[in-house]
Structure 1
Amino acid sequence: MNQINYSYIKEACVEGLQQAINAEKQGANRIELCACLNLDGLTPKIRTIKAVKKACSIPIRVIIRPRGGNFIYSKTELDIIKSEIQQCKSIGVEGVVFGLTTTTAELDISKIELLTELAFPMKVTIHKAIDTVKDPIEATKQLMKIKGVNTVLTSGKGNTWHEGKNLIKQMMKVAGDKLQIMPCGKVTNLNLALAHEILKAKAYHGKLIVGEL
């Protein structure tokens, strides 16, 4: 198999098996696998994760989110999250995607540390929960101290990457090489070149990043 050369990773946000297959065919370098994108992504069924793992040769990261709404989870919900992370680990996907916040609009660092440790050796992406906290720069600094957190998904508190570009750049500057800041928010195949020209990130994320699926 030939090594693909690309200057940045195109992570396609997909809902289900067929979209995952289409994304790989259309040039995605990685998949974020979700269910219920109408709720901004929930944990997919185990059988779907297994089917995508079997069908696709590119890396797969699975969103771990038991319900829509905020990112403040009860003990019962936390137990579900733990169980879903362990199931993903047993299937052997590259990584998992999650995020937890507190009632005071900060990242719930102690729980993120616990879940990251549980997820090892899988990679961990902290998702757009970071866009709901008071100070994403401070949150980025906190995440840099957690071994195993590799990536942060953010639109810089904007509805689009372009709207949030200044905060995204600040987060990238703080993170340096210690943490990959992955811009999202209406990143598509039509504006990806412009996004890269402005942000110069190492990875981008979007539902339409390689076109319609």
Structure 2
Amino acid sequence: MEKALIIGASGGIGAALVAALQGRGVAVTGLSRRDDGLDVTDEDSVAAALGALEPGFDLVLVASGALVIDGAEPEKTIRRVTAKAMADQFALNCIGPSLVLKHSLRLLPRDRRAVFAALSARVGSIGDNALGGWYSYRTAKAALNQMIHTGAIELARSHRHALCVALHPGTVATRFTADYAATHDRVAPDQAASNLLGVIAGLTPAETGGFFDWQGKRVSW
């Protein structure tokens, strides 16, 4: 891998991915809202930021996302669901990565292996949902998974060596999970980054369109 683009590079996992890749000698471009003004929910912002880049990225990874937006906590009951909270979740956790995918197609080489990946979450799995709750976040991540799977089908027609995948990083020790991980073992961001890069390195084009956890195991849709 020679070049990588990390979207959400100022976050816990994003920053760890940048550091891990740079440690491996990869030329990394990191973009974030905090440091670069990139708003993944605004197509003009995405188009401008990615349009300024030269093609040839071996990896484009979207690490942006949020569980709590504007103070709206994950819903424990459907009675707590609001249109605004659900729209906000879709904008950041589904529409944002989808716009990045749309505008990064030209950045991926056609003559060699390339990977587009977006961080999803196991709670976005419909088949794995036995607890309920977290309506808006779950639904937005499930929608993201569908976008990734559908995008992979189209990408394979123009980039036969490329992969387009959704990744579950596990429960990572960041501000994102601080108040919601009491029953889960958390891993440090640098370990999560190493795990994710290991999974990416082991995937083949035949596995494009898949949803994989940090161990490389398939997650049910």
Q: TM-score range by the shorter chain?
A: 0.3 to 0.5
Q: Which has the higher strand share?
A: 1
TM-score computed with the length of structure 1 as normaliser: 0.40
TM-score computed with the length of structure 2 as normaliser: 0.39
Instruction: Name which structure has the greater RCO, CA cutoff 8 Å, separation 6+.
Output: 2
Q: Which has the higher helix share?
A: 2
